[in-house]
């Protein structure tokens, strides 16, 4: 049995629909409603890049994990993109006039010291490329809407959707980074 948590009620509706047997609760990753050392595994999907404040979130992950437990976190990054992918993402960046960065990008560039400070040893840090097929303009629009563009930039968003729609029938590369962490005892 898993307990899922998100700050956004709409995400919880989708999660409950997809996995009715598990429990999903509204809350912040910086204050997990679970006892200390009570879980063996923590999974974070496509969120570490935005979870804030990251230090408090990592402290909570370490607190709820039993010593020896595992945390796995996935997030978007550019690590495994091909040159062709980079050109396409460059086009989208130009269209939205945004660098397409996430709040925790800088600190996650080399997170081992931060993680070790919370008793989380970094076992694996791998980026892998996935091709996202763009079969129709609706998927192209969904890709742009997943980029957390600032509110109010409707014209920039429409330009980006138009740019991505030119690749309908093809695919765009997405690079997903996966961190695997082990909860270790902190030295006194």
Q: Which residues sit at the interface with ligand SAM, rule CB under 6 A?
A: 5-8, 11, 28-30, 45-47, 50-52
Under DSSP, is residue 70 helix (H, G, I), strand (E, B) or coil? strand
CB atoms near residue 22 (< 10 Å) = 12
Nearer to ligand SAM, 30 or 114 (CB): 30
Shortest distance in whole angstroms from residue 52 CB to ligand SAM: 6
Shortest distance in whole angstroms from residue 30 CB to ligand SAM: 5
Nearer to ligand SAM, 29 or 62 (CB): 29
Contact 52, 24 (CB under 8 A): no
Nearer to ligand SAM, 43 or 87 (CB): 43
Shortest distance in whole angstroms from residue 111 CB to ligand SAM: 17
Tell me whether the omega of the peptide bond preceding residue 30 falls within 30 degrees of 0, making it cis: no
| Alpha carbon separation from 20 to 4, 11, 15, 16, 42 (Å, rounded) | 11, 14, 8, 5, 19
Q: Where are the alpha helices (DSSP H) in the chain?
A: 9-18, 54-64, 83-96, 105-108, 112-117, 137-145, 154-165
Nearer to ligand SAM, 11 or 184 (CB): 11
Shortest distance in whole angstroms from residue 17 CB to ligand SAM: 13
Nearer to ligand SAM, 28 or 171 (CB): 28
Residue nearest to ligand SAM (CB): 45
Shortest distance in whole angstroms from residue 5 CB to ligand SAM: 6
Residue 76 structure tokens: 């978007």
């Amino acid at each position: 049995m898993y307990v899922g948590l998100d700050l956004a009620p709409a995400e919880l509706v989708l999660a409950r629909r997809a996995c009715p047997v598990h429990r999903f609760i509204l809350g912040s990753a910086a204050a997990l409603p679970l006892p200390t050392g009570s879980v063996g595994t923590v999974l974070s999907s496509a969120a570490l890049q935005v979870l804030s404040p990251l230090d408090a979130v990592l402290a909570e992950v370490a607190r709820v994990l039993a010593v020896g437990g595992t945390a796995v976190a996935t997030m978007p990054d550019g690590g495994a993109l091909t040159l062709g992918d980079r050109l396409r993402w460059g086009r989208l960046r130009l269209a939205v006039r945004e660098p397409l960065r996430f709040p925790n990008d800088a600190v996650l560039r080399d997170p081992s010291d931060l993680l070790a400070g919370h008793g989380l040893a970094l076992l694996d840090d791998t980026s892998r490329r996935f091709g996202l097929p763009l079969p129709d303009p609706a998927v192209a629009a969904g890709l742009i809407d997943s980029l957390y563009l600032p509110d109010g930039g409707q014209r920039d968003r429409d330009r980006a959707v138009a740019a991505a729609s030119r690749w309908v029938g093809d695919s765009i590369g997405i690079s997903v980074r996966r961190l695997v962490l082990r909860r270790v005892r902190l030295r006194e």
